[in-house]
């Protein structure tokens, strides 16, 4: 497929054919605007973390209750497939049990059925995500990382991404794979960090496990919260941070890779992306021309936290 169709759909589907033509003719308000991703992805409920496979397949999480696997489920994972013939994403589908788990507060009060923060690999065959299905009150462990793989067209029973990735102390979350296709990055509150959630990265150890995760250092991590790495093909990584110097709440920042586990100074992506509200968890649709994230901003909202996109040039 032509990846540019995904950006073309986003513009023409949300704004109309005239706006699409305006973009083709050169710089316009469409180029500079922040756009709500629209229905059927965004709803009256809160939509959140998302990622894309190379063919446009989107996975994301939502608090919608009309399709939840159980009443009161905080978040479930959804998948929406890109249709090349129509140039649109199809209706999202709840990924169902066993990917999503219903609440099991009878086992432990922390097991609320909260499944979120999916990361789908470029080939569309592996999804990492965060879940509270093994949460424990003592020792206090709110969530861990899990992985499911597509085998013969079916998603497998999620497996714990075990130690040294998931721990009993770190509340690991926000998994993502870097552009090398193998480095797994995630956020953790484990001891020894800079404060709050820090971003760590690990590589396969060659024996089916993972090497000791490496804290990504002071250009990425601060005493505030940092999480959710997303890297583009130029080596720039985008992530969420509550550090000083932002626009308020959570902001999205970027830093250029200088080598393994080494990053240049972080920069704020600016007022097109960041607002006084929470702006979080960047995602890069195929094609390289657009940038997506979710936000609690209320301008152009469908009623709760929504997913937004803009042209990537607006993040420079």
Residue 253 has pLDDT above 80, yes or no: yes
Q: What is the pLDDT of residue 2?
A: 38
Residue 89 confidence (pLDDT): 87
Contact residues for 42 (Cβ-Cβ < 8 A; gap 6+) = 36, 302, 306, 307
Domain enclosing residue 266, as ranges: 4-315
Q: How do residues 164-220 score in pLDDT, each as one tens digit?
A: 999 999 899 999 999 999 999 999 999 999 999 999 999 999 999 999 999 999 999
Q: Is there a contact between 54 and 284 (Cβ–Cβ < 8 Å)? A: no
pTM of the model: 0.91
Indicate whether 152 pLDDT > 50. yes
Question: What CATH number should be reported for the domain holding residue 216?
Answer: 2.120.10.30
Q: What is the mean pLDDT of the chain?
A: 90
Question: In this model, does residue 310 exceed pLDDT 70?
Answer: yes
Residue 27: predicted pLDDT: 62
Instruction: Report the pLDDT value the prediction gives residue 184, as an integer from 0 to 100.
Output: 98
Is 60 exceeded by the pLDDT of residue 226?
A: yes
Percent of the chain with pLDDT over 90: 80
Q: How confident is the model at residue 302 (pLDDT cuts 50, 70, 90)?
A: confident
pLDDT in tens, 228-248: 999 999 999 999 999 999 998
Query: pLDDT of 7-45, one tens digit each?
Result: 444 433 433 333 333 344 456 667 788 999 999 999 999
Average pLDDT over residues 150-177: 96
HSE, CB side, 13 Å, CA atoms: give it for residue 160. Answer: 14
Q: 163 near 203, Cβ under 8 Å?
A: no
Q: How many structural domains does the chain have?
A: 1
CA angle 161-166-170, nearest 5°?
160
């Amino acid at each position: 497929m032509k990846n540019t169709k995904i950006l073309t759909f986003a513009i023409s589907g949300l704004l109309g054919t005239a706006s699409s033509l305006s973009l083709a003719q050169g710089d316009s308000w469409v180029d500079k605007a922040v756009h709500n991703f629209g229905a059927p992805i965004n709803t009256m409920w809160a939509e959140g973390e998302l990622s894309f496979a190379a063919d446009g397949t989107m996975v994301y999480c939502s608090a919608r209750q009309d399709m939840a696997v159980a009443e009161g489920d905080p978040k479930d994972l959804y998948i929406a497939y890109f249709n090349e013939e129509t140039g649109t994403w199809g209706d999202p589908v709840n990924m169902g049990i066993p990917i999503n788990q219903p609440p099991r507060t009878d086992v432990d009060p922390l097991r609320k059925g909260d499944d979120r923060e999916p990361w789908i690999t470029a080939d569309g065959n592996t999804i990492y995500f965060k879940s509270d299905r093994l949460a424990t009150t003592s020792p206090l462990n709110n969530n861990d990382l899990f992985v499911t793989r597509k085998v013969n067209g079916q998603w497998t029973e999620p497996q714990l991404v075990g130690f040294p990735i998931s721990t009993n102390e770190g509340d690991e979350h926000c998994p993502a794979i870097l552009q090398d296709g193998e480095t797994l990055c995630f956020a953790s509150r484990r001891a020894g960090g800079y404060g709050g959630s820090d971003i760590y990265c690990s590589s396969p150890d060659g024996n089916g496990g993972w090497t000791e995760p490496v804290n990504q250092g002071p250009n990425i991590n601060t005493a505030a919260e940092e999480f959710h790495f997303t890297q583009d093909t130029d080596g720039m990584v985008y992530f969420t941070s509550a550090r000083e110097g932002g626009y308020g709440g959570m902001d999205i920042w970027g830093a250029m890779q200088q080598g393994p586990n080494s990053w240049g100074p972080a920069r704020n992506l600016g007022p097109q992306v960041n607002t006084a509200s929470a702006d979080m968890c960047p995602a890069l649709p195929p094609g390289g021309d657009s940038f997506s994230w979710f936000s609690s901003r209320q301008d152009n909202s469908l009623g709760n936290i929504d997913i937004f996109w803009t042209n990537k040039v607006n993040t420079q």
